[in-house]
Amino acid sequence: MPSREEVAYFGAGPAPLPTPVIEAGGKAFVNYNNTGLGLAEISHRSPTANAVLAEAKSALTTLYDIPEGYEILFMQAGGSGEFSAVVHNLVSVWVERRRRKAEKALGNDEDKLLERLRKEVTEELKVDYLVTGSWSLKASQEAARLIGTKYVNVALDARKANNGKFGRIPEEATWSLTPTKREGGTGSAFVYLCDNETGVEFPAFPKCLEPQGADNEEDERIVVADMSSNFLSRKVDVSKYSVIFGGAQKNVGVTGITIVIIKKSLLPPQTATPPPALLHKLEIGGLPGTIVLDYATIAKNNSLYNTLPIFNLWIASQVMVNLVNTFGERKVSGQEEIANKKAELLYTTLESHPQVYQVVPDKSVRSRMNICFRVLGGDAEKEKEFLAGAETLNLTGLKGHRSVGGIRASNYNAVPLDNVEKLVRYLEDYATK
């Protein structure tokens, strides 16, 4: 049986964790700080749990330089749960903002208020999706399932510019975003993007989503980013986003924790949740949503409305604290340098053998986190041979995503440089046989 040090694991998730965190987690699971109880056994409302929460928030705030106007939530249901949560919460915010404006204009006349809101929902409600891969596609499909396809604007379907497949992100000028008030429109409830798909990553924040300098924050675009698979792998200007979320099991921890960074202006008291009775009357499917996915409820209860898995949160906290301690003032930029170096090593090696390896995504949007490629044009037998050869060297987790096929080397934060160098040597050896 190979030891942990001998295995180079490139699985897409659950992904590797730093060995020191795993070792400390084993002790904490059995007996945390000599309390005689493991972290999985303590009350989520105990002082110990609150201390773990505070430590996690502090480390994340430090790493990302999160501004004061944001709240950090720890939730459950993974990134897929957020597909629903985003719709539940942000469409409700859209309704509430419209309700307040209507109330100022019409007073307390409930019949007129309801008539106006129904008209605005029918004529103006839109949610924008940038579909660049399977995850943003699933998110857009969930929005359509909840509130109906007529309200979902797929502003970008990258497959249309790439022969029906994902692998490119077309020029921003081709995107059909709902016009904002500044642009002569009414704006959408939010714009949704997945920052890193299977093999495809946005190289930078889209220029067309930059703040427009509107007089009222409500006239700006609400940008939502799923960063599940590139969380804490590069520097991010949080102030450009209204919501950032990520499942922990790629770069931060183990399955069971979802991290949400959200503008406080989208939470009470700045924007309260509209009354459930009103949402029922408006008949917007999926609203009001599940209470354990309600941002206002989770924020009000310091992420402890329901039983939060404190051991899972502690693992994520230790990973983040480790990053803070390792990189100091460089913060997440330090991890970004390593991630870029590992990705460059892999892509350079693949490109040096074009007759053997073909990188799937376009060079302009290649993911640093998930390196996807085919062997000998996608020859099924040769790819099986490649994977079998890798397994004999303890290079594991390389089988490609079912939607893409081929080979996928996931280059998450806890994948050591040494392991990437082992894979590079195998790539070279296989190509020169």
CATH 3.40.640.10 fits 55-312, yes or no: yes
Instruction: Provide the pLDDT for residue 273.
Output: 85
Instruction: Provide the pLDDT for residue 395.
Output: 98
Take residue 218 and report the two structure tokens written for it. Answer: 């409500």
Backbone phi, then psi, for 216, in 5-degree steps? -120, 130
Q: How far apart are CA 400 and CA 348, in angstroms?
A: 19
Domain positions in the chain: 55-312, 331-431
The answer to whether domain 55-312 and domain 331-431 are alike in fold is no
Pick the CATH number of 331-431 from 3.90.1150.10, 3.40.50.970, 3.30.1370.60, 2.120.10.80: 3.90.1150.10
Positions of the chain with pLDDT under 70: 402-403
DSSP 173: G
Q: Choose among 286, 365, 423, 425: nearest CA to 11.
A: 423
Map residue 154 onto helix, strand or coil: strand
Cβ within 8 Å of residue 50, ≥6 positions away:
302
DSSP 248: T
- 258-263 vs 243-247, strand pairing mode: antiparallel
Instruction: Provide the pLDDT for residue 387.
Output: 98
Q: How far apart are CA 365 and CA 162, in angstroms?
A: 13
Read off the pLDDT of residues 293-310 as tens digits, 9 standing for 90 and up.
Answer: 999 999 999 999 999 999
Map residue 244 onto helix, strand or coil: strand
Read off the pLDDT of residues 384-406 as tens digits, 9 standing for 90 and up.
Answer: 999 999 999 999 999 997 667 79
